[in-house]
Chains A and B, each alone.
Chain A
Amino acid sequence: MYDSGKIITGIVIFVILVTFPIWYNLGRATPPPDPKIDTPVIQALTEKKCIEPKSQMKYTHMKILDEWRHTVVRTQERIYTAADGKQYDMSLQNTCMKCHSNKTQFCDQCHNYLQVKPYCWDCHIAPKEKK
C-alpha cells in the first residue's frame, strides 16, 4: 500500500472525530426528564387527573393538540369531550396551561431531553413562572 502512514493516520483521525460525541459524553449521563406537576392549581385538585389518563396523555398529547388547533380554528368546535364525559374548552393557552402553569418544569423537561422543538410558544403565551 502506498502512503500507508498517511492513510492510517487519516483513518484514525477520522474515526476519533466521528466518535467524538460518544466518548465525550461517556460516563456523563444526562438526567432523565422529570416533569413536575406541583403547581398550585394541580395541588388544589381533589382528583389529580388530566383530561385523559396520564399514560395516554404521555403519548398522544401532541395529537390531541394538533386536532384541537384544527377543530377550533377551522370548524369552530371548541368543546372537547373526554372519554369520561367531562367537557373542556379546547385551548392550550387557556386550558392546559391553567393547570400546567410550570412550562419549564413540565413541557420543557421532556422536549429538551428528546430534542424536540414544538413551535407552540412562538405565538401562544406561556404563563409567568417564578424563578
Chain B
Amino acid sequence: MGLNRRDFLKIAGISGLMGLGGKAALEVLRPGELEASLPKAPPTVAKHWAMVIDTRKLKTEEDLQRCIDACHRTHNVPKIPSAKEEIKWIWTEAYKNAFPDDEHEHLAESVEHKKFLTFCNHCTNPPCVRVCPTQATFKRADGIVMMDFHRCIGCRFCMAGCPYGSRSFNWGDPRRYLKEPTNPAFPTRSKGVVEKCNFCEDRLAKGQHPACVEASNGALVFGDLANPNSEVRKLLKENYAIRRKPGLGTYPNLFYLV
C-alpha cells in the first residue's frame, strides 16, 4: 500500500475543496457566473406568497362580490342556501368580526360599516396544518397552505383549529347545488371533505395570478414577501397594514390596508 499520510492528506484536501467548496470557490474566482447559469424562476414561483388587500379601493358591495364570484366560479364552489351547510372560499366580514383585536366603540366611520374581504390567511404558523391527522392539509415551501382532498378524512380538526373560519365542510354532495360545473377544468369536492381557498395554486401553475386578484381591479395585490422589490413589499413599506388576530401567533399572510 503506497499511500502514506502525506499523500492521503493531499488527496483529502483537494477533494474537499472540489466537492464542498467547489461552488463557492467558483463564485470567488468568477463572480456572477454561477448566478447566471442557474435557471431563472418564472414569475409565478415565489419563496413566500402573500397578499395585500387595499380595502380603500374596494368601495362598493359589487367590488367585493366581483372578487367572490370570480373565485367561486373558478373553483366550482356551490351556493348553498342553508348557512349551516354553506361552502365559502372567500367571503365578507364586518370590521368588528374580521379584526376583533382592533375594535373599539369610536371606530372611524369609513371602517365601521364597511365589509372586508376575508379568506384563508395562508398563515406562516398554520394551526390547521398542525392538527391535521392525515397531513391532508400541509404547508408548501412557497407558503401556500394546501389541501390534498384525496387524503382528507373529514375529521374537521382543521376547522376547529382555524381561528378565521376559513374552512367549510361538505355535509352533502356539493354537486346537488352545482347543476353545471362552472369550471370544467377544475374538480368539485365530494361529501365529507373540508375545503378552503388554495391561493389559486392551480392558476399559479399555469402562470396566472389568483382569480380574486384579477377581478379586483388592482385592489388586491399578490406577490413574493421574500423579495424586497416585489409590489407587496413596496405597498407594505409605504402603508400601514393590519392583519387578522395577530395576537394568536399564526402570522397571517394577508395584509389589509385600511
Chain A residues in contact with chain B, CB under 8 A? 69-70, 73-74, 76, 78, 93-94, 119, 122-125, 127
Bound-state CA distance A127–B181 (Å) is 11
Does residue B102 face the partner (Cβ distance < 8 Å to A)? no
> What are 13 A-B pairs at a CB distance below 8 A?
A69-B150, A73-B150, A74-B138, A74-B146, A76-B205, A78-B205, A93-B186, A119-B190, A122-B173, A123-B190, A124-B187, A125-B181, A125-B184
Per the bound structure, the CA–CA distance linking A94 and B205 in Å amounts to 14
Assess whether B189 is in contact with A74, with CB atoms less than 8 Å apart: no
Interface of B is mostly: loop
3 cross-chain pairs, A with B, having the tightest CB-CB distances, nearest first: A122-B190, A123-B187, A124-B187
- B148→A73 contact, CB < 8 A: yes
Q: Are B140 and A76 in contact (CB under 8 A)?
A: yes
Interface residues of B (CB under 8 A from A): 76, 138, 140, 146, 148-150, 173, 181, 184-191, 201, 205
Interface-centre pick from B146, B187, B191 (highest chain A CB count, 10 A):
B187
Q: Point out the residues of chain B lying under 8 angstroms from A124, CB to CB.
A: 187
Q: Which of A74, A94, A125 contacts B148 (CB 8 A)?
A: A74
Instruction: Tell me, in angstroms, the Cα distance from A78 to B44 when the chains sit together.
Output: 14
Q: Select B185's contact among A69, A74, A93, beta carbons within 8 Å.
A: A93
Query: Closest Cβ of chain B: how far from A131's Cβ, in Å?
Result: 17
Residues in A neighbouring B184, C-beta threshold 8 A? 93, 125, 127
The smallest beta-carbon distance between B183 and chain A, in angstroms, is: 9
Q: Within the complex, what minimum Cβ distance (angstroms) separates A75 from chain B?
A: 9
Q: How far is the CA of A70 from the CA of B146 in the complex (A)?
A: 13
> Other than the known A93-B187, A122-B190, A123-B149, what 6 A-B pairs have Cβ atoms closer than 8 Å?
A69-B150, A76-B205, A93-B184, A122-B191, A123-B188, A124-B187
Q: How far is the CA of A129 from the CA of B35 in the complex (A)?
A: 51
Asked whether, in the complex, the Cβ of A73 is within 8 Å of the Cβ of B146, the reply is yes
A69-B189 Cα distance, complex, nearest whole Å:
15
Do A125 and B205 have beta carbons less than 8 Å apart? no
> Which of B76, B140, B148, B150: most chain A Cβ within 10 A?
B150
Residues on A with beta carbons closer than 8 Å to the beta carbon of B146: 73-74
B22 to chain A, nearest CB (A): 27
Q: Which residue of chain A is the closest to B201 with respect to CB atoms?
A: A76
Q: How many Å lie between the Cα of A125 and that of B179 in the bound state?
A: 12
> Is B185 touching A123 in the complex (CB atoms < 8 A)?
no
